Amino acid sequence: MQKEQFTFLNNIREHKLIIFGSPLIEEEEIAEVVDTLRSGWLSAGPKVELFERMFRAYIGSKYAIAVNSCTAALHLSLIVAGIREGDEVITSPLTFASTANTIIHVGARPIFVDIERETMNICPFLIEEKITNRTKAIIPVHFAGRPCNMDAIMDIAKRYNLFVIEDAAHAIGAEYKGRKIGTIGDFTSFSFNVIKNITTGEGGMVATDNSDWAEMISIYSQHGMNKGGWKRYCDKNFSQYQILFPGYKYNMMDIQAAIGIHQLKRIEQYHMRRKEIWDTYNEAFKYLPIDIPSPEEENIKHSYCLYTLLVDPKKIKISRQKFQEKLYDRKITTGIHFTSLHLQQYYQDTFGYKRGDFPNAEYISDRTLSLPLSPKLTDEDVDYVINAVREIL
């Protein structure tokens, strides 16, 4: 490792840096990972199965298939839904690259629909005008953990016979009209990447109620083999596996699930801490010349994955980047969620998207800045962040 990187890691260890998205990892996870390492079985096995079972029980979906990222979860959902070359899939441009990249991976075309400024979610009333006879699916992204208008989206999907594949990378624990995200659309993809509400280091999950799709996703995640590694090497039954189709290497490992099973147990506790920090930020920033997240609609439960400020350089007299740099100088790292995908070079060059196409997504994209929001933060950390923001402004 480079000397510089060592210093960076040491700074984190000595709590000298407040790292955006740094997760809270407790002794139980550490012990469980060590137990896995000592057990002799590290890859997909009993701990992945336990994690899937706990996840299903928590979400209330009939099936849950663990994979190695939310990106893999989205990719496999698209494949199993039969989306392919020549098809179109509607989604939000204000999302992480993988939402749209996976549409391209299956050979289809991402069709962006602008967002609502307040919720930062896809505007359902703009969806219908983008539907053609090639449209096969909608991928709603529950931005920052605030559920999309699912009644309107499900209604459109039903009328046009489209799949609904939810990107719930931010939305574990979120609810829409009393229903958990993961029980509404055809497929829902979750992420356990470090910056999300619970983590396995890297990891993902697909929730679905359809047994055929669940089985296909499971097979696809293990090279298209009809028996996973655990069954091949640890079962008494030594019959050979068959390759049913050329699948992918997308399985989760027991080392990852070892972290997840303890994180999942604490999800409500973490949610309450996230809400506490969220409310403290809202209160502290409400009279400053920056915009705080708009109030939640009734009938939803927000999962508080990202706390996004809107920074307008005209109001604060410095650029967003400068603001970010000044926070960094005070040892606080931040994130941009997201640069709208239609402003990214590949999407412009390939699909002809340009600035001006999605004014609301651009408005957010140009101003958004995510502050640290993790149950790992102490009250002192939260105060420190608040004072740093005040000082800079």
Query: Which residues belong to the active site?
Result: 196
Q: Are 133 and 161 in contact (CB under 8 A)?
A: no
Residue 130 gets which letter from DSSP?
G
Residues that bind ligand PLP (CB under 6 A): 69-71, 95-96, 98-99, 141, 167, 169-170, 191, 193, 204
Min dist CB 256 to ligand PLP, Å, is 11
Shorter beta-carbon distance to ligand PLP: residue 99 or 149: 99
Q: Are 194 and 46 in contact (CB under 8 A)?
A: no
| Angle ∠(255,206,114) on CA atoms, nearest 5 | 125
Q: In angstroms, rounded to a whole number, what is the distance separating the alpha carbons of residues 393 and 390?
A: 5
Outline where the chain has alpha helix (H).
Answer: 3-13, 27-39, 46-59, 70-80, 97-105, 150-160, 211-220, 229-234, 254-265, 267-285, 313-316, 320-329, 345-351, 359-367, 379-392
Shorter beta-carbon distance to ligand PLP: residue 138 or 388: 138
Shorter beta-carbon distance to ligand PLP: residue 111 or 388: 111
**Among 247, 341, 253, CA closest to 44:** 253
Helix (H) or strand (E) holding 179: strand 179-180
Shorter beta-carbon distance to ligand PLP: residue 69 or 121: 69
The tokens describing 231, both together, are 């069954």
Q: In angstroms, rounded to a whole number, what is the distance separating the alpha carbons of residues 169 and 97?
A: 12
Phi, psi of 299 (to 5 degrees): 75, 10
CA end-to-end span of the chain: 37
Shorter beta-carbon distance to ligand PLP: residue 74 or 111: 74
